[in-house]
Amino acid sequence: MTISVGDKLPDVKLAKATADGPEAVQSSEYFAGKKIALFSVPGAYTPTCSARHLPGYVEKAAELKAKGVDEIACTAVNDAFVLGAWQGANNAEDVTMLADGNGDFAQAVGLTMDGSGFGLGQRGQRFSMIVNDGVVEQLNVEAPGDFSVSSAEHMLGQL
């Protein structure tokens, strides 16, 4: 079942990419007590994710924070080392990278996709959400192949 506005995020283990390597975090602890702009990409270094999705959040980070967002986070079914390298390659220090290496978070929120046709296997869909103290306030799920409602620009319009 897909998560909906008003639902509490499921509690799963993620790996936060840090300068010192992966740091295990529980989603219930990470999202508690703050307002987070979360976006999900099918994979680091993939074309749309690298050319438009992540750069939009990097560019709009100050505007999102000015509208009450405490933190911006990105999740992908990649490991923390890949997400850390992608973060560095894109000067994305304002975006916390949350690795969902096994796809547990994507499955728990019901937002998986089958990227097998591209050699990607099971991945998280492209989406964004505003999460306030662990509860989903806004949810934007892209249609397959699209990129519009999960963008930083769209999220700014929702805040």
Please choose, from the candidates 12, 57, 14, the residue with its C-alpha nearest in 3D space to the C-alpha of residue 36. 57
Burial degree of 7 (CB within 10 A; 0-12, 13-18, 19+)? middle
Is residue 150 within 8 A of residue 39, CB to CB? The reply is: yes
Catalytic status, residue 49: yes
Q: How many CB atoms lie within 10 A of CB 52?
A: 12
Q: One of 12, 38, 49, 109 is an active-site residue; which one?
A: 49
Please name the amino acid found at residue 150: S
Q: How far apart are CA 147 and CA 108, in angstroms?
A: 23
Q: So which residues are the catalytic ones? A: 49
